[in-house]
């Protein structure tokens, strides 16, 4: 690892045409050509599983009948859609058919 003689930052490899040099963000660039070898290795070889946002269930499930498919389970959340002194509006989404509806109190 090399450091900039001007500001002390770490020098990074920079390609200028066909030449490779070590350069800094302050504008410093090494004058001599250097043999630069960049390597990166991961210490572990584990299988990586990608989780999509739509695969994550973050809303609670409740026993509420869907008016469309009559499924017994629905997701549930509340939103304050009216004045602060009035009750919140409850929203539901069917686990099976994804139909959404609301219930006012």
Q: Give me 34's structure tokens.
A: 């250097």
Question: For residues 75 and 61, is the Cβ–Cβ distance under 8 A?
Answer: yes
Q: pTM for the whole thing?
A: 0.46
C-alpha to C-alpha distance for 78 and 80, rounded to whole angstroms: 7
What is the domain partition of the chain in residue ranges? 1-34, 54-103
Instruction: Render pLDDT for 3-35 as a digit per residue (tens, 0 to 9).
Output: 888 888 888 887 777 777 788 888 888 776 656
Return the active site residues. Answer: 85-86
Mean pLDDT, residues 56-64 taken together: 83
Mean pLDDT score across all residues of the chain: 81
What is the percent of the chain where pLDDT is above 70? 80
β-strands 89-94, 61-63 pairing: unpaired
Question: By C-alpha distance, which of 100, 80, 84 is closest to 92?
Answer: 100
For domain 54-103, the question of CATH label 2.20.25.10 is answered with yes
Residue 80 has pLDDT above 70, yes or no: yes
Other Cβ atoms closer than 10 A to 1: 4
Residue of 44 and 65 predicted with greater confidence: 65
Half-sphere exposure (Cβ direction) of 97: Cα atoms closer than 13 Å: 11
């Amino acid at each position: 690892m090399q450091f900039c003689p001007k500001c002390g930052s770490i020098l990074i490899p920079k390609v200028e045409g066909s030449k490779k040099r070590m350069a800094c963000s302050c504008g410093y660039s090494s004058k001599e050509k250097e043999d630069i070898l960049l390597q990166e290795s991961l210490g572990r070889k584990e299988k990586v599983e990608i989780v999509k946002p739509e695969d994550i269930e973050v809303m609670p499930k409740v026993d509420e009948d869907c008016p469309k498919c009559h499924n017994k389970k629905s997701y549930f959340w509340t939103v304050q859609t009216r004045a602060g002194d009035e009750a919140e509006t409850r929203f539901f989404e069917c686990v099976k058919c994804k139909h959404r509806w609301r219930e006012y109190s």
